[in-house]
Amino acid sequence: MPISVPVTVVASTAPESSGPPSVVREFLRARGSGKLADAVFSSVMLVCALSIFAIVLFIASILILRSHLSLVQFGWKFFSRQAWDPVQGDFGALPFIFGTLATSFLALLMAVPLALGVAIFLTELCPKALRAPISFLTEILAAIPSVVYGLWAVFVLVPLMRDSIGPVLYKYLGWTGFFEGSNFGVGLLTASIILAIMVLPIISSLTRDIMTAVPNSQREAVLALGATRWEMIRTGVLRNSRIGIVGAVMLGLGRALGETMAVTMVIGNHPDISKSLFAPGYTLASVIANEFTEATGDLYISALIEIGLALFLVTIVVNAIARLLVWAVTRNAPARVA
Amino acid sequence: MKMYGVYRASMNYLVTGLAVLSTIVVIAPLVAILVYLVYKGASSLNLAFFTHIPRPVGEDGGGMANSILGSGVVLALASSLGVPVGIAAGVYLAEFGRGRMLANAIRFTADVLNGVPSIVMGIAIYSLVVMQQKHFSAFAGGLALAIMMVPTITRTTEEMLATVPFAVREAALGLGVPKWRTVISVSLRTASPGIITGCMLAFARVAGETAPLLFTALGNEFWSFKLNEPIAALPLQIYKYATSPYDEWHRLAWAGSLVLIVLIMVSVTLVRIFANRGALKGNS
């Protein structure tokens, strides 16, 4: 390819070159040669790009279509009823909504302060030499498959909760009512802890990006007024990036709401609504994972698909809001790989 | 006034300490998981693991060779469907749609689609393919994973193409090269290390996916080569073994997880090195 040689030369000697396409380019493009091929090429690319819309529309429509039976049978009440009786054909999603919200909320409660701490450490305090390895480690944490987290949780976290952490919590905080009843190790609390570990890297890496986008002059200005480092972080950095941080937390929430395998393996899988965090629970995602292949009867499958539809719509909304918030803050920051 | 200064200084130290502490707390489970995985998995890895199919409960030995092969088949299928579409969509966003409302809408949709839980993809493909065909298949599994790969690849491709300076494209156009040739031979070529990175990251992400495969590929205890039959996959088998009550199966689950993690980590690390070396640096 003879072109590739001048390419690199041009790239390294023309620093002002990235900008809108020039008149020359428009002229050359309009010059007939390869016009048909260009048109075909660009429309093929457009079709592929439109397939992203198609995927979303297809998922939404197929889920609505297949959950029709349950939508008609139960209506809006489906989401406020507590019944889950496949034998009688009586279904309601409330226990799963409770389980999903409870585990996600607890996971965020644990993950957000830690993620903020990591992001502050990485952007403001960390020695340069440590920055890359720690970021890399947290990225690895994000790359571990859910099922492996689940495996680890089943064999390490569950016994730990049952034998060490659980009894201590019961002894000192049992009076609150949150740590009561028989403690099998599996339950809402264990699921929340594993969820927290899983959403942490997402929140912390996004928060780090957002905090890096705060201009340095901002920091210098606050420091020049005689602030301590923490005051600089609080007033100069955190205050400027709070919208983006909320967005990052919401992205973490979206991930927590839909997380399936690890939660299914440790939550106990029982449609109960209980105040105690030791009690087994069930989430929207884990009921689908557990019961879908064994579901008999159209109404049963339809009810499970309706749960999937609810999960789809909720995560779409949460992610859309989160993306808008993150974009608002990092819009002008340089691009980086995933 | 002096007291206030002490308060401010100690607050500073306290928060610094907390930030360091939280970093340690975050790194700890990672190290715990990796160490435990190597400890439990390495002792169970042997030749049989890579060459044999699972034995029935109660019999010793056996391996997960069919799951490894099955994962390979499903992932190859997913990549061959997802990668071209994802790259093409990224090319549209960066080369043709820049600044247009449509492109912005597509970009936003891709980002949102990225956050849709994988289990939703699973039931959608189940409803479309499995319900129609009345049986589970490797093809359905590949399709579900392909859909998950598309938005990730699209976004990284677009971001990588955006770092290619316009002057580079104009150099080609100035020689009379048609637009489509310019995109393929110049833009895509220049951005190729970054695009490959994106594809590998998407690949690593779906390689460990279990939920969408539960209702599409289903899993299989035997060798399976046909695309329209249920097929085994490593994450599925790990899930099955981890939730079983048998020690022998737990052993296999650990070994399987170790293999999966090593595969993912090697690809992610290779990609980082590759991308840092090959990427077009400087003005962008």
- What is the ipTM metric for this complex? 0.86
Q: How confident is the model at residue B90 (pLDDT cuts 50, 70, 90)?
A: very high
Residue A43 near chain B (CB below 8 Å): no
Chain B residues lying within 8 Å of A152, measured CB to CB: 32-33, 36-37
Query: Model's pTM, two decimal places?
Result: 0.86
Q: Which residue is listed with tokens 């299928």?
A: B77
> Does B21 sit within 8 Å of A151, measured CB to CB?
no
CB atoms within 10 A of CB A263: 33
Residue A228 near chain B (CB below 8 Å): yes
Report the C-alpha gap between B94 and B257 in whole angstroms: 38
Residue A147: which of B126, B180, B210 has the nearest Cβ?
Answer: B210
Residues 6+ apart with CB under 8 A from A305: A63, A66, A67, A70, B123, B127
Give, in order, the Cα–Cα distances in Å from B68 to each of A214, B74, B250. Answer: 45, 10, 17
Residue from A151, A238, A315, A316 to probe the interface with B (highest B Cβ count within 10 Å): A151
Residue from A36, A48, A137, A318 to probe the interface with B (highest B Cβ count within 10 Å): A48
In chain A, the residue whose alpha carbon lies closest to the alpha carbon of B7 is A228
* Residue A116 confidence (pLDDT) above 80: yes
* Residue B279 confidence (pLDDT) above 60: no
Least confident interval from B63-67, B106-110, B155-159, B239-243 = B63-67
Report the C-alpha gap between B196 and B182 in whole angstroms: 19
Q: What is the pLDDT of residues B132-152, one digit of tens each?
A: 888 888 889 999 999 999 999
- Look up residue A334 and give its DSSP letter: P
Structure tokens, B203: 């690949």
* Residue A250 confidence (pLDDT) above 80: yes
What pLDDT shows up at residue A332?
59
Which residues 58-77 on chain B approach chain A with CB closer than 8 angstroms? none
Residue B89: which of A49, A118, A231 has the nearest Cβ?
Answer: A49
Continuous segment of H or E residues that includes residue A65: helix A35-66
Reference A118, options B12, B10, B32, B21; nearest CA is B21
Q: What is the pLDDT of residues A263-281, one digit of tens each?
A: 999 988 888 888 888 888 8
Q: What is the pLDDT of residues A20-65, one digit of tens each?
A: 667 776 766 666 567 788 888 989 999 999 999 999 999 999 999 9
Q: What is the pLDDT of residues A287-317, one digit of tens each?
A: 999 888 888 888 898 999 999 999 999 999 9
What pLDDT shows up at residue A11?
40
Reference B124, options A304, A69, A95; nearest CA is A304
What pLDDT shows up at residue A15?
45
CA angle A67, B233, B238 (to 5 degrees): 95
